[in-house]
Amino acid sequence: MKTNFYDKDECKLTWGESAWFSSSGSVEQVFNSSTSFSAPNSPKSEYQLRASVEEKVAQGHYAVAIAIINQLIALRPNSAIDYNNRGLMHFRNNQIAEAIADLSQALKLDPKLDRAYNNRANCYAAQGNLAEAIADYRKKLGLRPRASARLYRICDNM
């Protein structure tokens, strides 16, 4: 029996500090001056790929979103955020082992990426591996203490 312990509020695509999203998930602000992305109208720009991922996720086409994120990872193989997002898509597509591998890679690239700990904890919880889930939730709490109340409620329900 699969139980959903994961924090649904935290299971969102993340593009990093260079982009933020409205509650509807649309891109409100895309890049800051320090980001070296292609212009929005250039062929197969990162902007277009990311917009395509958002569209496919909204449609529930997680396998297609994974394929697009693969292209982003090919462009930026050291992007912890892209590994986090691909891991989240694997999780939503019920590919838990692949999700854990991607989320672990994201954390290897950026040990302070708190959402990756949260997402990996959700994967462990889905597997019934509650000790690992709680350990990752606690790591997230260490990085983002303001999330503590919600995560403590989740851990208490495990």
Structure-derived torsion over alpha carbons of residues 63, 115, 101, 71, reported in degrees to the nearest 10: 50
Q: Can you give the C-alpha Rg of the chain in angstroms?
A: 15
pLDDT of residue 142: 86
User: CA 50, CA 107: separation in Å to the nearest integer?
Assistant: 21
Q: How confident is the model at residue 18 (pLDDT cuts 50, 70, 90)?
A: very low
Domains of the chain: 12-156 (1.25.40.10)
Q: In whole angstroms, how far apart are CA 99 and each of 19, 63, 96, 107?
A: 23, 12, 5, 12
Q: Check pLDDT > 80 for residue 19.
A: no
Full-model pTM: 0.71
Instruction: Read off the pLDDT of each residue in 89-108 and give the average, rounded to a whole number.
Output: 98
What is the per-residue pLDDT across 113-153, written as a single tens digit (0 to 9) for each? 999 999 999 999 999 999 999 999 999 988 887 766 666 67
